[in-house]
Amino acid sequence: LVKAVPTPNNGYPELVRLNCSNLENDSFITWFEFLKTKYIYDENKKNFRTIDFPIDYEFSYYLESKGITKEKELSEVTIQCGINKMDLAIPEFFTLFQERATAPFFVFQLFCVALWCLDDYWYYSLLTLVMLVLFEMTLVQQQIRNLSLIRQMGTKPYPMNVYRLRKWCKIDSDQLVAGDIVAVGKSIDSQLIPADLLLLRGQCIVDEAMLTGESVPQMKESVEFDEIHQRLSIDDHGKLHVLYAGTKIVQHTPPSKMNSSHIKAPEGNCTAFVLRTGFNTAQGKLLKTIMVGVKRVTANNLESFFFILFLLFFAIIAASYVWIEGSKNEARNKYKLFLECTLILTSVVPPELPIELSLAVNNSMMALIKLGIYCTEPFRIPFAGKIDFCCFDKTGTLTSDLFVVEGVAGIDDYRSITEIDDLPKECVDILATCHTLSQVDGTYIGDPLEKATISAINWSVTKNDVVTPKTRKGLLKPWKIIQRYYFSSSLKRMSVLASQDIENKIIATVKGAPEILRDMFESLPPYYNDCYKRLTSRGSRVLALGYKDIKGVKISDAKEMSRKEIECGLTFGGFLIISCPLKKDSKDVMKHIINSSHYVTMITGDNPLTACHVAKELSMVTMITGDNPLTACHVAKELSMVNSDHILILQKKEDNIFHWVSVDESIIIDDVANASNRLLFENDLCITGEAAAFLTTNHLSFFCKIVARVRVFARVSPKQKEQVINLLKDRGYVTLMCGDGTNDVGALKHAHCGVALLANPVVEKKKTKKDEKSLESSKPQVSKPQNSKFTIRNKGAPPPSESFKESNRKLVIFLNCLLSHIIKQGRCTLVTTLQMFKILALNALILAYGQSVLYLDGIKFSDTQATLQGLLLAGCFLFVSRSRPLKTLSCDRPLPNIFNLYTISTVLFQSMCHFASLIFLVSNAKRISGHKSGEFVDLEKEFQPNLVNSTVYLIDIAMQINTFAINYRGHPFMESLSENKALRNSFLISGGALFVLLTEFVPSFNEWFQLVPLSEDFRYMILGVVMTDFAFCWLIDRCLRFLFGKGFQKKI
């Protein structure tokens, strides 16, 4: 056996079986499987490693591969890497229950139950045991439901063509192994891609929404036209060349020409190489993340541990008191004393603690699921209540897919903007050809910006990458796109080769960031820099356009030209100006989040000016963007996002040296990392992605100091998005990242709360009155079906089922409702958890006093009394954790943790007040009953009701009810006590029962609780003490809450 210990928040340690498998060459491998991942022992490194899949070879290796050619090779690959199975067998109910029943916490609770049985509390022990078992059974049932949902997400096996043993054959997709050559294409029944595949030949358009949340289908190109000696990198080449498991091909184009050495796929399909299989694929990793998440439903584990230690301190004092004082009577049974001391020590872990913590998280998780928000790591929900920075991606998150093409600037002069209808032929040719659009079933697939552009110039994209003008006016003629060089975040440009067969003409068209294309133009107009800076400073999205004629070159030879040869000596074609409208609720979401004491940040690697336009419309406090720094800073200043007259930008001078310069250039600071310069801390800062890389390499400590003060991060890459999140985390800020698409995956994973938007239609169903009320309370907005784009899910959340995705897109729950709900549920869960710690701490301290001081006086409850008290207060324990958040976010922040001045002081002072009430009533009860002090009490005699016992029992119930009522938080984070009907009714029932017991209105009821009759004066005394105890405790808590009970937004 091997003990496998996972990384934090990725499951639990397990003892797993160590296996040994023989290979064909008389060698063997030693391996084990943990969390669906296979680990093989490496003889050279003397440690276990994951499987080495063929994912880092040169492109030539894959192109020349003939797949699995020998049975021996197939056997070895199967043993080492395994087949393409994602075994999601659902364990039986008893198996899962047994797993939970053997957990340390549950075993400890069973031990406590056994101790209560030894102390003759049979009914109470049975009640506690039933409560624990029922709760664990509920969790097991929920776990089975979640696992069933995950199982539906897996790709069902289906027959597919595989080139194996030098021939094409039909093999089920779950029998694939790494190294196979497969035929892929659009299937009639829309089958999902079964494994991670490298596209060798042909072209595919793939819908990755179910895996990454990217709403726009992605174009996948084969590797045969790339530099064949470069090594494959999933991170760098995955977006263009890899077909990921769990995605769906919506259109494919077979290879145009085939050499005799090429493997030709049957049925006109494309060929692909199997890179990874099973749970090692992108889909498999996602499923593993979710599977780990459904097993972990808890909150504040570390704080719970310290909380128990805090209570243990008082329990040790109480147990020591019982042992020391009890041992003074030599006749007393030491076994009973030891048992009582053990009970006191174990009482610091109330049986309700794990139940309450899990219920608080579970209830929030269920509430989010009803809103279409799937939480794959439930323990992160309380983090949503502590968030300092809310970080947003731009495209698809804050902006819609609708772009407005305003025209092209810079064609004639500095100021004029040429309308689309008046563009010269060369400019129209650039816009018509330089894109990645394709036509699928009569609709365009690709970047929404390019859809808007092709629509604005009134051209159409037909099959086989031919673009034609819809109106044959002027000299406009169709173009055939023969080669594309795709856009990447690092290059910030794309280029295309297109031809006209009629005139045997070939052109290269390029578009991209103005500052990137500047050095590629053969000649520039004198107003080039001023023109694009002026356009960016007003918040437009600007793309530089360029072209050149490829003369004297055949089409076949043109395809062999490198990207560097194409992207040089360009003729300037102008600046394309585009505006990007916001989502309908983006302004509201910024307003709500800023007003609720959060810093709002935008992190995007998109084309320069989109984020600037977004920032111009949104009152964002802090902006981290992928836009041009001048534009973003101008917008920030307009929106009063800055606190001074100047924004200092860290950028390169012409001599490649960085310096700080204000937008109006009135301030220039050459000393980049001078932490003593007041200007750097009195003004708002802007850092470009290039400057961020410079600071990371040369002045990392200085970068860490100013990162929270930087108002704008411009031109950031996906890796720099992660860096921004990590730097904020290192500075102690709790972060939320909200985005869609593959560019945000790293930042989503590194943030405390990663929220992924998924293109996710909502099934239209007949509304009930309850649904209408729910929709009215969350205020979703209805849009036209074509605008239906986003619902929300947490990091790695399960995508909807296929039938769900194919339904009509009628309703969109927008970002405003959903993000607000996440934060509200997070705050509600956090506050509920903290208030439960307070309540349980007070009850534990009162119990410790009762089991020590009062126990030695012979005061204890009967089994019947303890059981009835548990039943009477069960509703309070159950419903206090089922509070719902308010409809609006509060500007107040909750306290982030248990150990704060307010919580500790209110627990201690309320305990003192309760102790005073107990001592006062017990002393009066003893006086009335004629109890003699100084005598040793027989602790082992059978229970007999008396005045002291009845008094303590009544005041104990009253104090527990008071504790719930006083320490229930309510507004501004959750429903008030009057609004929480279930909890309110529980209080009324418990309080009514207490009132009946005090007034002896129903004598038989008192007899059932084994209480003795009380004199009228003493009843009034108890009632007065109960009211006084409530008043003083309420006053103490509210005063301390006013002084120390508010959370504060961290300063930057």
Question: Catalytic site residues?
Answer: 393
Q: How far is residue 950 from each of residues 124, 172, 639, 851, 858, measured CA to CA in Å? A: 18, 74, 67, 16, 12
Say how far apart CA 1040 and CA 928 lie, in whole Å. 37
Say how far apart CA 356 and CA 879 lie, in whole Å. 10
Q: How far is residue 1034 from each of residues 909, 963, 969, measured CA to CA in Å? A: 11, 9, 12
- The token duo for 19 is 């296996």
Calculate Rg over the CA atoms of the chain.
35
Q: How far is residue 323 from each of residues 317, 341, 928, measured CA to CA in Å? A: 10, 7, 29
Q: How far is residue 768 from each of residues 773, 808, 981, measured CA to CA in Å? A: 9, 19, 22
Enumerate helices (H) and strands (E) in the chain, giving the number of each: 35, 36
Of 486, 489, 483, 490, residue with least CA distance to 506: 483
The answer to whether 546 and 517 are in contact (CB under 8 A) is yes
- Please provide the DSSP assignment of 565-605 as one string: HHSSSBEEEEEEEEE-PBPTTHHHHHHHHHHTT-EEEE---
Of 949, 893, 917, 947, residue with least CA distance to 842: 917
Written as one letter, the residue type at 1048 is F
Backbone angles phi, psi at 570, to 5 degrees: -80, 155
Cβ burial 914-927 (10 Å sphere, 16+ → b, else e): beebbeebbebbbe
Residues contacting 95, CB < 8 A, separation 6+: none
- Please provide the DSSP assignment of 834-887 as one string: HHHHHHHHHHHHHHHHIIIIIHHTT----HHHHHHHHHHHHHHHHHTT-PPPPS
Cα angle 345, 351, 357; round to 5: 120
Beta strands in 427-539 (DSSP E): 438-440, 443-445, 459-462, 466-469, 479-485, 493-500, 505-512
| Number of Cβ within a 10 Å radius of residue 472 | 10
The length of the chain in residues reads 1052
- The token duo for 257 is 């020409």
The answer to whether 271 and 77 are in contact (CB under 8 A) is no
Written as one letter, the residue type at 246 is G
Say how far apart CA 570 and CA 546 lie, in whole Å. 6
| Number of Cβ within a 10 Å radius of residue 1031 | 13
Say how far apart CA 713 and CA 687 lie, in whole Å. 5
Helix axes 863-879, 981-999, angle to 10 degrees: 150
Q: How far is residue 395 from each of residues 201, 214, 974, measured CA to CA in Å? A: 31, 10, 33
Which ranges of 639-739 does DSSP label H, i.e. alpha helix? 679-682, 689-698, 700-706, 718-730
The answer to whether 633 and 603 are in contact (CB under 8 A) is no
Name the helix (H) or strand (E) containing 735: strand 735-739
Of 787, 427, 733, residue with least CA distance to 572: 427
Say how far apart CA 946 and CA 940 lie, in whole Å. 16
